[in-house]
Amino acid sequence: MKLCSIVCMCAMLAGAADLRLGIVGTDTSHVIAFTSILNDPNHKDYVPGARVVAAYRGGSPDLASSRDRVEKYAAELQSKFGVEIVPDIPRLLGKVDAVLLESVDGRVHLEQFREIARSGKPVFIDKPLASALADAREIARLAQKHGVRWFSSSALRYSSLLPDLKREKVDGALVWGPGPLEPTHQLDLSWYGIHAVEILYTLMGAGCEEVSRTYAEDAEIVSARWKDGRVAAIRLARPYSGYGAVAFAGKEIRQSQKDLYTGYRGLVEQIVKFFQTGVPPVPEQETLEMFSFMDAAQRSREGGGAPVKLR
């Protein structure tokens, strides 16, 4: 591990002053939500231990949801929270202990991570980790090369309602959520379907071997079989819907009674804990398997719904 990473880790473990965090990509509402929770002690979901001190705008001119928000959120970070806006990633890295890679566009994550990884500093990569399976795997390879600790997750994985559904081993699950698509992303489920995929993997764990996908304009079903014989499915609605799940455990059936989205506090707590300890809360192989899952679903759609093995 690089010297700067060792120094940062020692400071974390020693319980020193708040960790200094830097944001890459100010084109998502997550940067305001996370900074509010971290920087405002009066926030109802305040999480101590880290503060956002600097941000790099980034932005994707060919993606409206990035282009139309990047300046607005940068300005709000600066005026409301006193976050310094810097002109490039190297300048950011010189001011922070750890990085929140927040760019809404998964296509740019690999190149941005490539710059960040050279510093050896720990990184949280917001969803989606990438827009293609090859990019996700390359991020993992670069992290290993540079000794970088990282993890990626949707806030839905840390819904306060999920533990009750997962109490014991789950034999199978049905998950539902919104599935709007973004044509710029090679894996179309990575854009928004990733939330439902995270819920499914939180309940089922890793070990999926085969996926099939039934696609329609307003909704679709992704069915999956695990190596141990368990089966599960996701229903995605367009343009939007709430989040929910049914978990099967023996003779017991547990169904969510409320929308599973319960805010960002759970995820932010995990991010701060990760930066303090260096221990990723989501195993790298599970995150990469989720991208193999979405890749198989993509190939199944292209093949008319035929079952496809994960690769």
pLDDT tens per residue across span 100-141 = 999 999 999 999 999 999 999 999 999 999 999 999 999 999
- Architecture of domain 157-262+292-309 in CATH? 2-Layer Sandwich (3.30)
Rounded to whole angstroms, the Cα distance separating 272 from 169 reads 28
Position 169 scores a pLDDT of: 87
In the chain, CATH 3.30.360.10 sits at 157-262+292-309
pLDDT at position 135, please? 98
Could you tell me which residues are beta bridge partners of residue 214? 221
Residues of the chain with CATH 3.40.50.720: 3-126
Cβ neighbors of 110 (< 8 A, separation 6 or more) are: 130, 135, 138, 139
Mean pLDDT of the chain: 94
Q: Per the omega criterion (within 30 degrees of 0), is the bond before 283 cis?
A: no
Which pLDDT belongs to residue 16?
58
Q: How far apart are CA 54 and CA 302, in angstroms?
A: 42
pLDDT in tens, the chain (311 residues): 443 444 445 444 444 589 999 999 999 999 999 999 999 999 999 999 999 999 999 999 999 999 999 999 999 999 999 999 999 999 999 999 999 999 999 999 999 999 999 999 999 999 999 999 999 999 999 999 999 999 999 999 999 999 999 988 899 999 999 999 999 999 999 999 999 999 999 999 999 999 999 999 999 999 999 999 999 999 999 999 999 999 999 999 999 999 999 999 999 999 999 999 999 999 999 999 999 999 999 999 999 999 999 99
- Cis omega (within 30 of 0) for bond into 163: no
pLDDT reported for residue 287: 98
Asked if residues 31 and 77 have their Cβ atoms less than 8 Å apart, the reply is yes
Q: Please state which CATH number belongs to domain 3-126.
A: 3.40.50.720
